[in-house]
Structure 1
Amino acid sequence: MNITQIRNATQRITYGGKRFLIDPMLAEKEAYPGFAGSARAELRNPLTALPVPLATLLDVDAIIVTHTHLDHWDDAAAALIPKSMLIFVQNESDRDLLREQGFSQLKVLGETTHFGDITLIKTDGQHGSDEAYANAELAARLGDACGLVFMHPQEKTLYLAGDTIWVSPVETALRQYQPDVVVLNAGWAHIIGVGAIIMGSEDLLKTHRLVPQARIIASHMEAVNHCLLTRAQLREYVDANQFGDRVSIPQDGETVTC
């Protein structure tokens, strides 16, 4: 498989003979204000420009949208992606939203979904702490976000955890599927008064302890205002904890082959 880090959680993945675009955020640099109520909200998003031409990103067989927060499915994606593109979404609510935006080939991921010879297994996560979800307003803002396990007879098993903190469904997925490659959204995004809503450096260590054979790829870094963990800080952490040889922290536009 080839995994190209595009920007934020946007990745272009070649797997099992198919090409996927994951969580497209396609706007020009600084197109949107920072997320209100989050860390460094004075910064405009995205912080960086796309590293590859749009035509390259859209030359895929399918798009996967793990959830519809602006940094995973933005106005630019809704405007620029062809309406006939095959798009997999996590639930009926997201399907209805994209249908309202004019998209016609929408498939809701089930527990198990087949796409050619590829098996996609939807996994659960939690986009913030239990305390955050106890607040009805915050719970509505954070919403649902899924992960995915990719399986194919001629490929290594790939697990994209999605926008989640470390919770039992993540641990269960790692133990059950024993993935060879794990993509973690590791930018440690913070909401003021709430704390982290995605993973950070210690979660990579937890992952490594559970699946020491796996190649861990860090994504969702240095592209939106509320992500506080930098690539340099993460590299220092994984090297100091002596598992840096199992971790890739790709720059935007960089491809990891597994």
Structure 2
Amino acid sequence: MRTKTLLATALFGALLSVQAYASDSYQHIRNATAKVSYAGQTFLIDPMLAKKGAYEGFPNTLNSQLRNPLTELPMPMNEAWQGVTAVVVTHTHLDHWDEAAQKYLPKDLPIIVQNQDDAKIIREQGFNDVRVLNETLKIGDVSLHKTGGAHGTKEMYAVAPLGQLLGDAMGVVLRAKDRKTLYIMGDTLWTADVNKALIKYKPDVLVMNTGSARVNGFNEGIIMGKEDVAHAHQAMPKAKIIAVHMDAVNHGAVSRQAMRAFVQKSGLKDWVAVPEDGESVKF
């Protein structure tokens, strides 16, 4: 009888573990904006919440005549922060922390940022609980770990006005006991810092900003693109990849349609998700 009881307990525990994994998800909202449900917490990532066409296109970039965002939110704005535990702002560029987010997000929501400069900006916007992710920070049972990168090439950073505008942008790794490790790479090219994060954390899920956004006068993008998805699969062949940051701002050079075609042609469709606005990916 005791053996049967122990077996039933083990099976019940295993079932709970499976259910826990099933409850974790990445809901793509628009651009790099997402709601991540993870280990009992819900994080709003890089909120850009304005209506379609609210802002002028980014000057001196590809298709700057277009107004941003290029698409509407897939939900009423207030649904974006319903049930949210904390907000993660990887950097304060308009397409990751816009005027609508600054105006409408509840001012008592915890805001997690990359450095003291961004913290100062957001505190001055009226937010009461701004936390700097220096290396590691804990929210409930979730550990958040800061990762580095580069929001452009060394040639771009050598041009003083552009380098200053590009600034810093962090990535974030989410870890919790009995959960898959999630790495949100952020606005970066593939750098040594990305390699270090992959080696250190061995993530099971990669969220990649792959719109290959372009500034005038340079052939390279300021974030990743299609080929980086293939690179990621080669580096982490068992990881689930979620490709986002496309079809929402003027300077993106890679569309979701083009990314899906690349994924199909490269034989990566079983590993790579390219979600529509509002779509959730479970992991």
Q: Once the 2 structures are TM-superposed, how far is the Cα of residue 55 of structure 1 from its aligned partner?
A: 2.3
Tell me the equivalent position of 2:280.
Answer: 255
TM-score between the two structures when normalised by the length of structure 2: 0.90
What CA RMSD, in Å, does the superposition of the two structures yield over aligned residues? 0.8
Q: Once the 2 structures are TM-superposed, how far is the Cα of residue 132 of structure 1 from its aligned partner?
A: 0.4
Secondary structure at the aligned position of 1:79 is classed as: helix
Q: Is the counterpart of residue 82 in structure 1 residue 106 in structure 2?
A: yes
Gaps of 5+ in 2: 1-23
Does the CA contact (< 8 Å) of 1:88 and 1:109 recur in 2?
Answer: yes
In the aligned structure 2, how far is the partner of 1:251 from the partner of 1:164? 22
Structure with greater strand share of residues: 1
Aligned match of 1:107 in 101, 124, 131? 131
Q: Is the counterpart of residue 14 in structure 1 residue 40 in structure 2?
A: no
Tell me the equivalent position of 1:57.
Answer: 80
Aligned match of 1:221 in 246, 260, 268? 246
Q: Is the counterpart of residue 196 in structure 1 residue 224 in structure 2?
A: no
Q: Once the 2 structures are TM-superposed, how far is the Cα of residue 35 of structure 1 from its aligned partner?
A: 0.2
Tell me the equivalent position of 1:180.
Answer: 204
Aligned match of 2:163 in 118, 133, 139? 139
Tell me the equivalent position of 1:238.
Answer: 263
Does the CA contact (< 8 Å) of 1:185 and 1:220 recur in 2?
Answer: yes
Gaps of 5+ in 1: none
Which residue identity lines up with residue 215 of structure 1 in the other structure? K
Q: Once the 2 structures are TM-superposed, how far is the Cα of residue 239 of structure 1 from its aligned partner?
A: 1.5
Which residue identity lines up with residue 98 of structure 1 in the other structure? I
- Cα deviations by residue, 1:210-253 (Å, 9 ceiling, x for unpaired): 10000000110100000010111111112211122100000000
Secondary structure at the aligned position of 1:98 is classed as: helix
In the aligned structure 2, how far is the partner of 1:111 from the partner of 1:61? 20
Q: Once the 2 structures are TM-superposed, how far is the Cα of residue 6 of structure 1 from its aligned partner?
A: 0.3
Aligned match of 1:208 in 219, 233, 245? 233
In the aligned structure 2, how far is the partner of 1:5 from the partner of 1:196? 22
Tell me the equivalent position of 2:181.
Answer: 157
Secondary structure at the aligned position of 1:138 is classed as: helix
Q: Once the 2 structures are TM-superposed, how far is the Cα of residue 176 of structure 1 from its aligned partner?
A: 1.9
Report which of the two structures shows the higher radius of gyration computed on alpha carbons: 2
Secondary structure at the aligned position of 1:119 is classed as: strand
- Runs (4+) of structure 1 moved beyond 6 Å? none
